[in-house]
Amino acid sequence: MSRPRGLLRAGYPYLKTLGMRRVTNFPIDIAFGKDEILYVLLRESGNAFIRIWSFDDAESFTDDLVQIGSYGKNAGQFQWPVQLITNAKDEIYVSDEANHSISIFNSKGNFLSRWGKQGTQKGYFNGPAGISFDHEGNIVVVDSSNHRIQKYTNDGKFICQFGKLGDKEGEFKRPWGVHVDELGKIYVADWGNHRVQVFTNDGDFIMIIDETSIAGLKMKYPSGVAVDAHGDIYVSDWGNNRVLMFDSNGRYVWRFLGDATLSKVARSYMMTNAYSNRLREMANIEEDKYLRKPTSIRIDSKFRLCIADHMSYRLQVYQKDAIELDEHTIFSTMRNPSLTTA
């Protein structure tokens, strides 16, 4: 799939909310599976596992919910997981900062293997955070506390690395999220430097995205980054409780502050709990719609943007509404564009 020459951006409406407290507590990341399946990584102090969920949401509240992994140091367990990704086989790869490792499960949740050792030398980890497959099937890993990016084969053989501690181009300060687009570009959420950096597949610096042309939109501890098939870039601006959207050149386009409503599973649960219904009836619920510490964003092939709304125990989903343009429907690039409406 090639990228369009341009887009007619009609809007980016809120679509739905998924999950609720008790069943999707503290979502830290999301991965897409087959047949509308979502893998939701949940993490809090003393508890960590993957919840299997669906875009349809649950029709009724139940305690019989499918999960993968558990809290701990042993095989198939996590202590402080950060991100998860899936491959064409629906195998699940999970990074774990505290266990300094990458764990792998099959689509049924059975543990397959784990690799990684703690250290500062090449190929070792000190708090692996973001992970992403590149266009060759290798795994790009944010080695956060070593302030670098490392690349491995999918079975854990070291390939190369780049980056070091600092705030100059190509340097990092506790980076977190990462994404590799279909062109091979590597996007890194440079947490401690409050910016996103973009590199070639070989680790050569391309550009920095750190603030917009609109006052007050400077990033604060960006935690995740994703890029869609149009080349649009999404950043979970964790410290500012929002998600920012940029075009492929790093120009600011949009921001998401949160529009959550009660999910399907939450509505079913509330109908069994008269006390909770009375509390909600008495409350000012405007604040409930906003994002609270969003940790990760993912966008699927249908251009559905999924946000891990970490402190609100849910996912917020938006649907991109844009028409792809070609040389007949959009003018050539302009040096100083402005938008007016007639």
Q: What is the pLDDT of residues 149-158, one digit of tens each?
A: 999 999 999 9
Q: What is the pLDDT of residues 236-250, one digit of tens each?
A: 999 999 999 999 999
Confidence of residue 18 (pLDDT cuts 50, 70, 90): very high
Distance (Å, whole) CA 174 – CA 179: 16
Q: Enumerate residues 6+ apart whose C-beta is below 8 A from 341.
A: none
Average pLDDT over residues 154-169: 96
Determine the pLDDT at residue 85.
98
Tokens of 188: 């890194």
Question: Which among 56-65, 216-225, 246-255, 313-322 has the top mean pLDDT?
Answer: 313-322
Work out the mean pLDDT of the chain and round it to a whole number: 93
SS3 65: coil
Confidence of residue 342 (pLDDT cuts 50, 70, 90): very low
DSSP string, 6-49: EEEEEE--EEEEE--TTTS-SEEEEEE-STTEEEEEEEETTEEE
Total residues found in the chain within this entry = 342
Considering Cα of 183, then 189, then 18, then 255, what sign does the dihedral take? Answer: negative
Average pLDDT over residues 143-165: 97
pTM value?
0.94
